[in-house]
Amino acid sequence: MKTLVIGANGQIGRQFCALAAERNLPIRAMIRDRGQIPAFREIGVETVTADLESDFRQAYEGCEQVIFTAGSGPHTGPDKTLLVDLHGAIRASDLADELGLARFTMVSALRAEHPLQAPERLRPYMAAKHAADGYLRRGRTPYVILKPGRLTDEPPSGRITTDPDSVAHNHISRGNVARILLAVAGNGGLRNAEYRILDGDMPIDTVFG
């Protein structure tokens, strides 16, 4: 089924799109800047120009599932966190419900349910993720929520854990998250499931295949 990738030009989104293109998975990259089109066209990925802070309904046309990997991150102000990580995610979820999509995959954050325990600069982001996750759970669209720990740029190992208590660290490479998204996108049977994910010893395909 065709997948709309919201946040396709982010660090995880770009890696996922490249992997999906290699596997010939049908995807559409939602981007804000038309100047980004050539990079996606070069790897054979369809694009649509739309913005989470505006009308993006047209991006859904012909798509059967959504991957939401957009995020303002801790380096923007609380205004962008509200508009992108919270309101943008809610609007994306509403559209999925309205249009009867098969699944919505959300890239959230580990321990987002405890925003006050996060470093102060991350609390608005974690609170937005927590609220968006809860909204998605209450919707009509089947969902998968991925909760990665601290993101790194280490080379992807292809191995993870879904039990954070089993390892003595709290990180996962962006490349591993992209590979998890690839596995989820290709497995239509995963529905209404949540995973806490860190780098570990278990092959990704064993968990999500």
Does residue 27 sit in helix, strand or coil? strand
Per-residue pLDDT reduced to its tens digit, 111-151? 999 999 999 989 999 999 999 999 999 999 999 999 999 99
165-177 burial: b if 16+ Cβ within 10 Å, else e: eeeeeeebbbbbb
Residue 189 clears pLDDT 70, i.e. is over it: yes
CA–CA dist 131, 119 (Å, integer): 18
Per-residue pLDDT reduced to its tens digit, 61-70? 999 999 999 9
Residue 53 clears pLDDT 90, i.e. is over it: yes
Torsion of CA 152, 202, 209, 67, to 10 degrees: -20
Catalytic residues: 125
Residue 195 structural domain = 3-208
pLDDT at 74: 58
Which band of pLDDT confidence, cut at 50, 70 and 90, is reported for residue 175? Answer: very high
pLDDT at 73: 62
- Supply the pTM of this predicted model: 0.96
N-term to C-term CA, the chain: 16
Which band of pLDDT confidence, cut at 50, 70 and 90, is reported for residue 108? Answer: very high
CA–CA dist 2, 172 (Å, integer): 27
Q: What is the DSSP letter of 156?
A: P
Single-letter amino acid code for the residue at 66 = V
Residue 209 clears pLDDT 90, i.e. is over it: no
pLDDT at 178: 98
CATH number for position 61: 3.40.50.720
Cα–Cα nearest to 88, from 20, 10, 197: 10
For residues 155-175, give the mean pLDDT: 97
pLDDT at 75: 67
- Domains held by the chain: number: 1
Per-residue pLDDT reduced to its tens digit, 5-38? 999 999 999 999 999 999 999 999 999 999 999 9
Mean per-residue pLDDT of the chain: 95
